[in-house]
């Protein structure tokens, strides 16, 4: 990993679906650079042969019987929709 991180903050913001002002972009880039420098502590250890851990208490293949069971009713699922139309979530137009 390079010592100076030079993160392309606007690219990352696009991936994260966040609009940033110029001020925010500069501030976050500097702060994240500082945090990444600290995170570089991880490079001081040889981790090559270590198995990664995703969950501390691994539970595998959680399945249930394929039977119908109650879930959220349509009205409940739509109850917090910012905008709805014809019992569906409404979003801005996506095709011309």
> What backbone torsions phi and psi does residue 4 show, to the nearest 5 degrees?
-95, 130
Please, what is the minimum distance in Å from the beta carbon of residue 22 to another protein?
Answer: 13
Number of helices (H) and strands (E) in the chain: give both, helices first. Answer: 3, 2
φ, ψ (nearest 5 deg) of residue 6:
50, 55
Total residues in contact with another protein, by rule CB under 8 A: 51
Q: Which residues bind another protein (CB under 8 A)?
A: 1, 7, 9, 12-20, 24, 28, 31-32, 34-36, 38-43, 45, 47, 50-57, 59, 62, 64, 72, 76-77, 79-83, 89, 91-94
């Amino acid at each position: 990993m390079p010592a100076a991180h030079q993160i392309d903050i606007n690219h990352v913001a696009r991936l994260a679906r966040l609009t940033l002002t110029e001020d925010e972009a500069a501030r976050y880039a500097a702060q994240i650079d500082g945090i990444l420098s600290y995170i570089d502590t991880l490079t001081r250890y040889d981790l090559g042969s270590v198995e990664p851990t995703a969950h501390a208490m691994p539970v595998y293949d959680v399945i249930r019987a394929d039977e119908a069971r109650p879930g959220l009713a349509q009205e409940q699922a739509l109850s917090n929709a910012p905008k709805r139309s014809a019992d569906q979530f409404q979003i801005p137009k996506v095709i011309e």
